[in-house]
Structure 1
């Protein structure tokens, strides 16, 4: 069977249909380039004028918790999907990804100014049942799905009094759910505490309680290149990871490569990428500067990622965007916890590929073919002109600039 990446777009869609990943309606949607209707778009954002498209691709070879996955990824960056596929294939030979997910709830903050004249803990004990009742009344269906208010604590900072609420949003990411509950609770608390002045109520994007972990165990033989044996590659990858622990400048780029994969899947599934970015970067600090850890155990390279992923599988744009619904169907409708494990696995795969490339051939080698294709498009090449231009650039890589490619394109057209 022809490898997936060697198929044409039409052949890939046909194969996905034959394998049961796509319906006929899904195929039509992809083949016609269908997008948001004007009606849907105008209800999602203000001052709507049209739609902005990004490429949707699939990462194959993923085995996560003993299940095979095709993973939709949306990105404009060349090689992100190829790198994820490459790492996933190596990892699949060694048992795949194993995940653990903690999905406790979302933190919300209700902040007052003033001095609390009563015992805060005692006040919460007295009011907890009423506060839980208010949360249930504000979102009655949430309780039916196992969600709702789970805990409240109180903290004091100078002249601020903060009530921290932990709210389980069930399968939704829950921003609107949490904020609605917070505003209802804030109104009640203000009535009970007239000596305080309500300042604000808002969810927090700091979500260490929504933590996904993925781990892989890769035989070093899977990492070998033509120039370097697998053990040497693994040792260099561990060294590169250790250096990133010490260098803030390198840590930023180390984590950015992980985010390439995480954001691509989050975007494909309609999740809030800004929320994820805020949660992830607030999770990092000087003692914990990296999302991943790599270590050698005998002839195996052990990789682990721990990353907060406050996301959902229903609600908001996830349920509204046709492309997001298509992506979730390809993933076989994971629940929110499963999606967290999937996205963490893609982040870990992205990191493995990046580290292996960096310590062997260098990061640019894998990028060049797609970069040359992009350069050909920038020069104005039509679909049938891209292949000869890329062949030319492979032969003369020093000509990889826009002026030279435009000149070559003119020559090709004159030769027709």
Structure 2
């Protein structure tokens, strides 16, 4: 049977057989989406419950030569199926090839005041700043991280001086690391200069040095749809991609579709979805409105994504949440660089799937079955047999498939069930 045709427990069992899960992680998934109250209460303030999001697996991915089952946490229908479908279409050409830049995060140490010779001040105190940085987080260099660069930026119109730190966070996402070091450096500089008063010290969510790139080649033979030849589908995808570069309105929608996959992977692994979104969208401008590019080369559709990806493989929720740890286990416990490449690959797959649907059969066709399932559950169906019955009836005339119709079908089904029991 295909993976999507298995029951939830059968899927978990298959992941165990494939070696993607151990028995311990399998038990976490089998227990359901609950988060222990004791853990949740220590993660946030005023905790009253937990908000579960479905966790699924996108199959068919080959990333840098390695078959990869990708865990995605998402409530939107079709995201997982679409990503896996796109991944399947580039398997014969090697799947996704990634490269990443993990050059560091930015810490902004901001002062009120004025320095006559800011560069000279920095040069005189640079060694001390480096020592303060090491002392603030002694174990960071052991994990390949640490302060990489310092520059000074002045804003004379506002009497503001900024010391901009570049900090490699090692394997962590890095917010706490950067904030800790930035605050320590801020206190040191304030003591060292009578002209400066510390205003703030904080991580910047801009991440130009933390980027992920993925490339994939989709043969024309894998692209036919709705009676169109693969070469024509490829050309139409290229044109749709170019339109996103021309139209800000279309670019917004395309980028949302890319983030469907990226955000779901980031969330599943316990990383900060808001951080990734802030960095990714901040990198766009009127000359670069989206993160993907599409072209035709040698009978293949070639897609490339280049996107800021400030995520990590250890620390915080990544190392705390049971489901996040399980997701990392499914991914074979990747380091931060590989996880960045996986996220970029899922984003590219999501974009390809959406564009192929848009330029052929339209976007709604692929969503319809899961939308009907959602309607059935909104109407009150809970058991699988009830949901299947409602979907079966609604799918016969989707133009009249709405909540009232779903409730009527469910009511008829329940009436019939009561007659059978009588």
TM-score (norm. length: structure 1): 0.98
Match of 1:282 in 2: 282
For 1:207, the equivalent position in structure 2 comes to: 207
Contact 1:399 1:405 in 2 (8 A): no
1:348 aligned residue: 348
**1:191 positional shift:** 1.1
TM-superposed CA distance for 1:262, in Å, is 0.2
Distance of 1:185 and 1:380 partners within structure 2: 58
The aligned counterpart of 2:357 is: 357
Does residue 1:252 correspond to 2:252, yes or no? yes
Pairwise CA distance, 1:87: 0.2
CA drift of 1:162 comes to: 0.8
The alpha carbon displacement at 1:298 in A equals 3.5
Let me know the Cα RMSD of the aligned residues.
Answer: 1.0
Inter-partner Cα distance in structure 1 for 2:306 and 2:25: 34
1:19 alignment counterpart: 18
Q: For 2:336 and 2:83, how far apart are their aligned partners in 1? A: 21
Q: Distance in 1 between matches of 2:80 and 2:88?
A: 12
Larger deviation: 401-410 or 122-131? 122-131
Query: Would the aligned equivalents of 2:271 and 2:311 in 1 still touch at CA under 8 Å?
Result: yes
Contact 2:28 2:326 in 1 (8 A): no
After superposition, residues 211-226 of structure 1 pair within 5 angstroms as 211-226=211-226
Q: Name 2:99's counterpart in structure 1.
A: 100
What is the count of residue pairs matched by the alignment?
Answer: 414
Residue of structure 1 equivalent to 2:400: 399
Does residue 371 in structure 1 map to residue 376 in structure 2? no
What residue is the counterpart of 2:387 in the other structure?
Answer: 386
Looking at structure 2, the residues matched to 203 and 226 of structure 1 have their Cα atoms a distance apart, in angstroms, of 49
Query: Does the aligned pair in 2 maintain the 1:35–1:322 contact within 8 Å?
Result: no
Please give the secondary structure, in 1, of the residue aligned with 2:365. Answer: coil
- Structure-1 separation of matches of 2:405 and 2:394: 10
Q: What corresponds to 1:76 in structure 2?
A: 75
In 2, Cα distance between the equivalents of 1:148 and 1:364?
A: 48
For residues 279 and 195 of structure 1, the distance between their equivalents in structure 2, rounded to whole angstroms, comes to: 33
CA contact (8 A) 1:275 1:310 kept: yes
> What is residue 186 of structure 1 aligned with on the other side?
186
Moved over 6 A (4+): none
Hey, what does 2:114 align to over in structure 1? 115
Deviation at 1:403, TM superposition (A): 0.6
The CA deviation at 1:329 is 0.4
1:149 is matched with 147
CA contact (8 A) 2:267 2:273 kept: yes
Deviations, residues 349-393 of structure 1 (Å, cap 9, x unaligned): 000000000000000000000000010000001222011111111
Instruction: Report the secondary structure of 1:200's partner residue.
Output: strand
Contact between 2:29 and 2:323, CA under 8 Å: does it hold in 1? Answer: no
d(CA) in 2 for partners of 1:282, 1:68: 32
| CA distance, structure 1, for counterparts of residue 215 and residue 125 of structure 2 | 43
CA distance in 2 between counterparts of 1:394 and 1:351 reads: 27
CA apart distance, 1:34: 5.4
State the distance in 2 between where 1:187 and 1:13 align.
51
Distance in 2 (CA, whole Å) between partners of 1:102 and 1:40 is 34
1:297-323 per-position Cα deviation (integer Å, ceiling 9, x unaligned): 231111100000001100011111111
Q: Is the 8 A contact 2:395 2:401 kept in 1?
A: no
Contact 2:105/2:166 (8 A) holds in 1: yes
Q: CA deviation at 1:35?
A: 2.8
Match of 2:127 in 1: 129
2:420 — aligned with what? none
Name the TM-score, length of structure 2 as normaliser: 0.97
User: How far apart, CA to CA, are the structure 2 residues paired with 1:34 and 1:62?
Assistant: 25
Which moves more between the two structures, 48-57 or 11-20?
11-20
CA–CA distance in structure 2, aligned partners of residues 33 and 290 of structure 1 = 37
1:226, CA displacement in angstroms? 3.9
Could you tell me which runs of 5 or more consecutive residues in structure 1 were left unpaired when the two chains were aligned: none
Query: Residue deviations 1:126-151, cap 9 Å, x none?
Result: 21111111111111010111111110
